[in-house]
Amino acid sequence: DALIIFDDLTKQAWAYRQVSLLLRRPPGREAYPGDVFYLHSRLLERASRVNIAYVEKYTNGKVKNKTGSLTAIPIIETQAGDVSAFVPTNVISITDGQIFLETDLFNSGIRPAINAGLSVSRVGGAAQTKIIKKLGGGIRLSLAQYRELAAFAQFASDLDEITRKQLEKGRRVTEMMKQKQYVPLNVAEI
Q: Which amino acid is at 186?
A: N
For the annotated catalytic residues, the residue numbers are: 122
Cβ neighbours of residue 121 under 8 Å, at least 6 residues apart? 96, 97, 127
Give one DSSP letter per residue of 3-19, joined into a string: EEEEETHHHHHHHHHHH
170 by Cβ neighbours in 10 Å (0-12 / 13-18 / 19+) ranks as: buried
Which residue intervals of 65-129 are DSSP H helices? Answer: 86-94, 103-107
